[in-house]
Amino acid sequence: MSEYDGLNVGFGGERIALPAGKYGDSVNSELKIVNYNGVLPSRADADLQRHGFLVAHTNGVEGTAFLTLQLKRAWLTPEAISLVFNKGVPVGRATQAGIDTFRESLQEYSVGRATANNTPDDQLEEQAGKIYGNTIKQIQIAVGSLFRLQDWRGEERNPDIEPAALLGTEFSGTVGPGYKEGTSEVSNVYTRKRART
């Protein structure tokens, strides 16, 4: 045993959760990404990656909160963005055929999930529709948050950004209780008001 093994090498104190509440508005930021915690694959879905950030208040409120962006590479394609945010009308390099293919893959995924959940045949279509709607909502939240953070940085929206590049971003949002006791989580990134041109 080394003489160093008994030393407490933690960060020197208990982490304090940022109090729940609304921080800033559509013009004034009050939160800042101070650390990129890395990416963790999801145990339930190998394609889903959870990007973790540590967030602090910009004006001295004590504590930190976690921000998690759960993203799939497929959600960041022009086809997915066109389907979810532009009602299926092509944006960027997207083609209508590509959008239709992405929509079909989501529908197949939804039917597969409903079937795997042992949904009775007479309820399969309804349950698959709910799963499809929930998946669209999940994409809206995750990709929308990524784009809103880029808006706060004053950068063009880019689905190919490395999430670590968001370090230092100041933004506004809502903080709520975290998943573990004594933690807090950013539950919403506010939309930044854009200057009129």
Which pLDDT score is estimated for 158? Answer: 96
Based on the structure, what is the number of domains in the chain? 1
Residue 12 included in any domain: no
Determine the structural domain holding residue 165 and report its residue range. 21-187
pLDDT of residue 3: 75
**Whole-model pTM above 0.85?**
yes
Give the Cα separation of 187 and 53 in Å (integer).
13
6 within some domain:
no
Is the Cα torsion angle 108, 111, 117, 118 positive or negative in sign?
A: negative
Residue 119 dihedral angles phi and psi, to the nearest 5°: -70, 130
Quote the tokens at residue 62.
């004590």
pLDDT of residue 2: 72
The per-residue pLDDT for range 71-94, each reduced to its tens digit, is 999 999 999 999 999 999 999 999
pLDDT given at position 13: 60
Residue 178 included in any domain: yes
What is the DSSP pairing of strand 173-177 with strand 31-41? unpaired
Within-domain flag for 49: yes
Answer for the pair 84, 136: CB distance below 8 angstroms, yes or no: yes
Mean pLDDT for each consecutive 10-residue tract of the chain (197 residues)? 66 80 96 95 86 95 96 96 97 96 97 96 97 97 97 96 97 96 95 76
**CB burial of residue 23 (10 Å; 0-12, 13-18, 19+):** buried
Please choose, from the candidates 23, 28, 25, the residue with its C-alpha nearest in 3D space to the C-alpha of residue 57. Answer: 23
Q: What is the pLDDT of residue 4?
A: 74
